Amino acid sequence: MREFELTGARYQPCTVLRDHHIPYVIWFEDALRRYGVPTGIFHHYLLVNDLDEAAEVLIQRLGWTLSSAPARIGSATVDTPQRRLLPPTNEDETVLLHAKDWHFDFSTGRVMAQGLSLPRLPALLDSLIGALLDDPLEDPLYWLHITCHVEYLYRYNADVKIKSFAQQLKKEHQQYHFDMLSGMDRGNLRWYRHERKIRDALRDGLWTLCDCSLDTDADPTTQPEGA
């Protein structure tokens, strides 16, 4: 585990992708560090639009090779496509993930800082919350990995701790934000199943936003919009 750096071999793939006009954003721990989370960094995850195009550029420019290891997010084996690239040194792998799998929009969701393409904070949180609520919760290694990232942002980032930050999130994630700030007992399967019901009810116009969802009817599908 190494401390976060903005320069050096770790970010060489970012320079290469930028020079070839391939959109990307840094993801997971590297992105969290940019928003005040004192986490270590492990493999270097990047979101891109085209896995094969980005991988081929890095292979040709840097002499990297594709790993035959199973696709993973953290320690969890996943079935979503990714490309794991091995540098010729002992540096960490660079793992390319598809932006569409994280519902990430490059046109509105990224910002440049110190030469790096970063996710805007609301876009990062929307993507992580969405991935968590879409997950079937069958692999604890996966949902715990994403849960930690969300929890860290709420613990360490001052902007996220403000109630009005909800206005920068998708409406379907705003009750999740209020519930995170309310002090609800969370981080377990019951919590996520409850939040998924509320997210789905918001999508269907069947939920009115409130400070804490446990202060209302336990079944979010029974509360119509405007009730």
Q: Please choose, from the candidates 219, 222, 227, 216, the residue with its C-alpha nearest in 3D space to the C-alpha of residue 193.
A: 219
Q: For residue range 119-167, list pLDDT tens digits in order.
A: 999 999 999 999 999 998 889 999 999 999 999 999 999 999 999 999 9
| Amino acid identity, position 134 | D
User: What does DSSP say about strands 76-77 and 44-48: parallel, antiparallel, or unpaired?
Assistant: unpaired
| CATH among 3.30.460, 3.40.50, 3.30.1360, 3.30.1240 for 9-119 | 3.30.460
- As a whole number, mean pLDDT of residues 7-16 equals 85
Is pLDDT above 60 for 4? no
Q: Which two tokens stand for residue 125?
A: 């949180």
| Predicted pLDDT of residue 47 | 98
Is pLDDT above 60 for 1? no
Domain definitions of the chain by residue range: 9-119, 121-222
Q: For residue range 155-210, list pLDDT tens digits in order.
A: 999 999 999 999 999 999 999 999 999 988 887 889 999 999 999 999 999 999 99
CA distance 158 to 142: 26
The dihedral through the CA atoms of 141, 152, 169, 225 has a sign that is positive
Q: For residue range 26-51, list pLDDT tens digits in order.
A: 999 999 999 999 998 889 999 999 99
CB-based contacts of 132, cutoff 8 Å, min separation 6: 143, 146, 147, 150, 192
CA distance 48 to 7: 20
